[in-house]
Amino acid sequence: MRPWLGLDRSLKRLNALAAERGLRTESGQPVRFVPPEGPRGAYEVAVFETGRVATRPEHPHDWFNALAWLAFPRTKARINALHAAAIPHERGQRGRVRDLLTLFDEGGALVACADAELVGLLRAHRWRELFWTRRAQVLERMRFLVLGHAVLEKAHRPWAGLTCKALVVDPNGDADAQAAAWLAALGPDATPRALDSLPVFGYPGWMAESAHPLFYDDWRFFRPATGNEPLQGNAG
């Protein structure tokens, strides 16, 4: 996401980059960022069928959604395709697979890490041990790639409690391709439990408070494991 953060906030610039990168929906439509239009049915279905993504460049939520398309085009296209396939069968009530897709789209992150011990600490919610005791190894071996546009919007004013739904990926591979492949393999019974909870604000240096070990003892934010941890939160 970092290379796109300094872009001029204009539809013209977004669309030039979308064309340059060959962004397409899984229906084959070129992705183009357009001003909001009148009702066109379900949002995700309309994007899938037309490639037109309603975007207000001045609105942070819309802007970060557009940047996520540029940074993670396969993942965004796969999320959109899965939404579009599920919506006609829902009878007005969103299912658990679409709950997962929505949480990942709005608040998702990829954890690029090949260190099984660090990943184990994350999944066990052993936050102080991960982010404080092992902070040197975290900085060296673990990267957070945030794709959730709602989280990116909220990160403008960082606060303790900002949590992502995360997927672990191989740092030596294409993170976008891995996430898209993981989504494609989801079964019909998948739920948000398939993703890891990740208090991104705990990453060493992300907030000033992270310079003190007691920061990680606040259970309001760094919640312990509950016994309901993710079932399959790994694309590696």
pLDDT surpasses 70 at 1 = no
* Sign of the alpha-carbon dihedral angle for 21, 26, 30, 33: negative
Q: Distance between CA atoms of 23 and 32, rounded to whole angstroms?
A: 8
The larger pLDDT score, comparing residue 81 to residue 38, is at 81
What DSSP character marks residue 35? -
What is the chain's mean pLDDT, rounded? 90
pLDDT surpasses 60 at 232 = no
Tell me the average pLDDT across 190-209: 92
**What pLDDT is stored for residue 148 in this prediction?**
95
pLDDT tens-digit readout, 23-68:
999 999 999 999 998 766 789 999 999 999 999 999 999 999 999 9
**Torsional class of 91: left (φ above 0), alpha (ψ -120 to 50), beta (otherwise):** left
Domain ranges of the chain: 2-93, 107-217
- DSSP per-residue string spanning 87-143: GGGSTTS--HHHHHHHHHHHHEEEEE---HHHHHHHHTT-HHIIIIITHHHHHHH-E
Q: How far is CA 166 from the centre of its chain?
A: 7
